[in-house]
Amino acid sequence: MFPVEKKHCDITGFEALNHDVFRVRLRLESSDRENMHYHAGQYLDICLPDGKQASFSIASAPDQGRDLELHIRQVPGSEFNALILDTLRSQSEIDVELPKGKVHLSQADVKPETRFIFAAASTGFAQIKSMVEHLLANQAGNPIEIYWGARVEADIYLEKLPQQWAAEHANVHFIPVVSEPENSPGWQGRTGLMPDAIAEDLTDVDADLAVYACGSPGMVHALVDRLEEKGVSEAQIHSDVFAWAPRPAKTTSA
């Protein structure tokens, strides 16, 4: 595990990806290029001028050198969220602390027989993006299934990117899932809840399956419940949610 360090970054980009998600691009100082280490799937803390910190998944793969990417969703009514976005929009530099997070992967440790399912909800796609791009950058041939659940299609803010991965790599499959198709004009894809879609598609469960889930605690816990019904063990499901929002204990009737 790499040590957590404070790094200075230039803010090189700030753009809207849809109606409420922004992409922030950071670049570490050139002196940090050889010392900047993180694993795909880890996160960083933005250090705000008032001393507060905010955690965001690193959406870029470590193979991209000193360029970092974040996906930040606007939260209506949150003064802290507004402060974060205003700071990143108006400033030219920022300090960050990285790397953080125990849920990550490195191609050097990936077994060729491992089959991946990546499950993202909302900006949870950032963490998934980092891991998938790392695998693809290292020419991994493992089966990769990417599910992205959203309320409406407009919330799938980088839909064309995983579509491109699937078009260019035969081992990659992308399944977007919309829970409110009535509010997504012209939607022709999967509908319903993402955990249900994954469970419906999962017909072959073995020890080589690895599931990475990034989203709200409710989504992750629901996914664990549905996959356990299919024979997937909780040990095969990886999520940062487990560190700060443990899965509620199941109650048993007397």
Whether residues 136 and 84 fall in one domain: no
The yes-or-no verdict on residue 34 having pLDDT over 60 is: no
Of the candidates 65, 100, 135, which is a domain's last residue? 100
Q: How far apart are CA 24 and CA 59, in angstroms?
A: 10
- Name the residue range of residue 214's domain: 107-244
Whether residues 207 and 85 fall in one domain: no
Decide if 134 is inside a domain.
Answer: yes
Of the candidates 50, 74, 100, which is a domain's last residue? 100
Whether residues 111 and 80 fall in one domain: no
Whether residues 55 and 15 fall in one domain: yes
Q: Total structural domains in the chain?
A: 2
Tell me the CB-side half-sphere exposure of residue 135, using CA atoms within 13 A. Answer: 28
Of the candidates 67, 100, 133, which is a domain's last residue? 100
pLDDT tens digits for 111-149? 999 999 999 999 999 999 999 999 999 999 999 999 999
Decide if 253 is inside a domain.
Answer: no
Let me know how long the chain is.
254
Decide if 158 is inside a domain.
Answer: yes
pLDDT tens digits for 212-246? 999 999 999 999 999 999 999 999 999 999 988 88
pLDDT tens digits for 47-105? 999 999 999 999 999 998 899 999 999 999 999 999 999 999 999 999 999 999 999 99
Smallest Cα–Cα separation from 142: which of 152, 128, 132? 132
Decide if 179 is inside a domain.
Answer: yes
Whether residues 124 and 82 fall in one domain: no
Residue 84, H or E segment: helix 79-90
Whether residues 93 and 33 fall in one domain: yes
Whether residues 134 and 82 fall in one domain: no
List CB contacts of 28: < 8 A, sequence separation 6 or more: 7, 8, 9, 36, 66, 67, 68
| CATH number of the domain to which 201 belongs | 3.40.50.80
Structure tokens at 6: 């404070």
pTM: 0.94
